Amino acid sequence: MHEHSFRENADEIEDLLKQYEDLRAGKKSSFLEEESFELIIEYFNEKNNFIKALEVVDTALDYFPYSGLLFIKKADVLVATGHYNEALDVLQQAEFFDADNIDIFILKTDACLALDLHEKAADLLQEALLIFENEDKIELLFELADVYDDYEEFDKVFDCLELILEQEPVNEEALYKICFWTDFTGRNEESIRLHQRIIDEHPYSELAWFNLGSAYQGLKLYEKAIDAYMYAVVINDKFDYAYRNMGDAYIRLHKYKEAIEVLEKVGEITRPEDVIFEAIGHCYHKLGKFATARFNYRKASHINSSDSKLHYKIALTYIHEQKWERAITHLENALRIHKNTPEYNLAIGQCLMQLKNYKEAVHYFSMAIRSRPKNVRGWKALITCLYQSQHFEEAIRQCNAALKLTEEKPLLLFLYSGVLFAAGKSKEALIQLEKGLKRSPNLIKSFIELNPAILQNSQVVDLLALYRKVKGKK
């Protein structure tokens, strides 16, 4: 709808309002043109004084009863005040006088959507698309895309945006939106073909290059994605989202040095962000540069102090350096924010176990199991801790509990066997070892890690040799 800047024309509107009140008062010398009525209606709409706006439009229709535009203005006010059925009736009258006005279709659509008549709204816009061309058609396609979005016909949203770009290949709004909907609908191949056509005609469209890169990235074609992003940043060297996505693609390819370079470029272009520092920290972490990784994780944490994951990642760098006490400090910070996160409880338990503080370690491993009772990692950590602290009977009890809750996962059979051997129950230990070998012989490593000296036990060696032969025959 047309908008008018009343702040710049305060004197004009004051004069029009006075003329309007004179007209309402019946002063014979007063008369207003249709355009003047429109300005007064817009003035009251802008003030959200819809009752007064409706009064003005009804007065205007007394003087100009054949004005399609005034009927449209009335419908606009009725939609704004929630009188949707009445608005549709008024728009029928407007159509009689001004059938080719696009606002009729848009307001009808708004009213139908408000009445949950989504299919009718879509049909109206489809009908309008046969009538209007050029900019009007593009506006209608955006409206239709919003309708399909509203009732979750997401592939049709993509189709509307594709039609817009076929008519206007460098329409920025459509290019921004189709990038999201490509990712959401997974229609990456179509997006690649579309943007390649756009680039053929408009090779300097950085958004088209970016969307092409994003579609390649959606297909995990990271090298091609990086090439496309490179073109985007050559055209616009301040295109921070292209650098972000390029950084992600490099990380996926395990090219951490290259990722750091482009992610640092983001920091030069935009304000500091925790996700960028976290990603840079991740890269240094993967490169084994733990102090530099920590430095970046800390930067991220200063920006977003409520993100427990950042404290956890700092702790992991200390764990790699075997600095258990420092790791524990940061894990405690993480647990203060999210106390029931299994990964945090497992990590602090592992640190405490390294410090031979078995009692506290058992507490944290138990917390991890409470959160995920069917997860084998928690059970393995708890049983290993009890084994190392030589609480074999308790370890046996926990093995039995674990086997019940996890439907006898093979890894736990091997751990159970190791605990039974340590408790002096060799016969039962061999039974459990054989069960484990039958189920998953490749997990024998966990059994040996528990006590490497077990390989000096002739019965164990004979049993392992037997299963190697069986495996060899297969």
pLDDT tens across 186-240, in order?
A: 999 999 999 999 999 999 999 999 999 999 999 999 999 999 999 999 999 999 9
pLDDT of residue 1: 47
Euclidean distance between CA atoms 32 and 441, whole angstroms: 94
How does residue 289 score in pLDDT terms, banded at 50, 70 and 90? very high
Q: Among all chains, which residue has been given the structure tokens 């606009």?
A: 76
Cα separations in angstroms, 88 against 73, 106, 148: 12, 11, 21
For 95-98, the CB contacts below 8 A with 24+ separation are: 95/68, 96/68, 97/66, 97/67, 97/68, 97/71, 98/68, 98/69, 98/71, 98/72
The CATH class of 183-270 is mainly alpha
Mean pLDDT along residues 144-148: 92
Share of the chain above pLDDT 90, in %: 66
Mean pLDDT along residues 233-258: 97
pLDDT of residue 6: 47
Beta strands of 186-330 (E only): which ranges?
none
Mean pLDDT along residues 385-405: 96
What amino acid occupies position 397? R
pLDDT of residue 2: 45
Mean pLDDT along residues 50-59: 82
pLDDT of residue 28: 61
Q: What are phi and psi of 440, to 5 degrees?
A: -155, 80
pLDDT of residue 9: 65
**Nearest one of 7, 67, 5 to 33, comparing CA atoms:** 67
Span of 10-14, 347-351, 364-368, 448-452 with lowest mean pLDDT? 10-14
pLDDT of residue 3: 47
| Ranges for all domains in the chain classified under CATH 1.25.40.10 | 183-270, 271-372
Neighbour-count burial for 100-126, b at 16+ CB within 10 Å, e otherwise: ebbbbbbbbbbbbbeeebbebbbebbe
Q: With 80 as the cut, is the pLDDT of residue 8 above it?
A: no
pLDDT of residue 202: 97
What's 106's DSSP letter?
H
Task: Check: CB of residue 413 under 8 Å from CB of residue 432.
Answer: yes
The CATH class of 271-372 is mainly alpha
How does residue 30 score in pLDDT terms, banded at 50, 70 and 90? low
